[in-house]
Amino acid sequence: MSSDREITRLRQAYKGYRQDPAVQMQWDGNNRGNRAIVRERQAAIEDILKASGMVPLTGRKILDVGCGTGSILANFQKLGAAPQDLYGVDLIPENIAEAKRRYPKIGFQCANAEKLDFPDGHFDLVVLFIVFTSILDDGVAKGMADEIQRVIKPGGGAILWHDFRYNNPFNTHVRGMTRQRIDKFFPDFKSDLRTITLLPPLSRRLGPLTDLLYPVLAAIPALRTHYFGLLEISKNTKGD
């Protein structure tokens, strides 16, 4: 089955990332450019959720698909989310084991998002950060998108989106998620997206000048590599 092949490919690709010292060095948390990217993203999360009226997140159920080791999901507690309302799924068992170790009060599962073990309309917010760019099989992507829509509350739920909009010529395991591709997989959602994130290879080279140069360079639209924003499910979507 194409799904099985794609899942195997994804797991092998991420295993390769974990075992490649060059890749690990690229995302070194001590790099000033990487820290600037994370700060910008966190500020954008807070701004958009406040503007949407979701903050405080008290009582809201949140699912992070492709949650990695859980740090992004855990940060929603700073905006009022309770740990028992936070759930994360990831394909990589090592990621889930580390997430459970770091955040034992949050619910983590090793799972394929084509089949989520949650009821219909269960979540107020689904987080999709650097997920669909890694899926090269459109059938798998469509299955995931349909399952994600199933578990979002109809007429009020939303997707928080952050993903590459450009192809990476040095990584054949990913492809950019254009607005057209996003609309293809989530046709029942209204998107409110903007571009953020200064080209990471450039960000990482700014060194001591990062605080000065990052905002200047990030103001150039062509250098912003990701789409960020909310996909909100239409109130008249069939089935609500």
Q: Which of 36, 224, 49 is nearest to 127 (CA)?
A: 49
Q: Once rounded to an integer, what is the mean pLDDT over residues 89-110?
A: 97
| Alpha carbons within 13 A on the beta-carbon side of 209 | 7
42: domain CATH number is 3.40.50.150
Q: Which of 161, 175, 164, 176 is nearest to 128 (CA)?
A: 161
pLDDT tens figures, 162-181: 999 999 888 888 999 999 99
In a domain, 238, yes or no: no
Q: Which tokens belong to 73?
A: 């999901």
pLDDT tens figures, 132-145: 999 999 999 999 99
pLDDT score, position 172: 85
Percent of the chain with pLDDT over 90: 80
Q: How many structural domains comprise the chain? A: 1
On average, the pLDDT of the chain sits at 93
pTM: 0.92
Residues 6+ apart with CB under 8 A from 184: none
Percent of the chain with pLDDT over 70: 97
Is the per-residue pLDDT at 211 higher than 90? yes
Q: Which tokens belong to 177?
A: 């998620």
In a domain, 68, yes or no: yes
How far is the CA of 240 from the CAs of 52, 117, 157, 184, in angstroms?
Answer: 21, 20, 11, 21
Is the per-residue pLDDT at 239 higher than 50? no
pLDDT score, position 237: 54
In a domain, 239, yes or no: no
For residue 207, give its domain range.
2-233
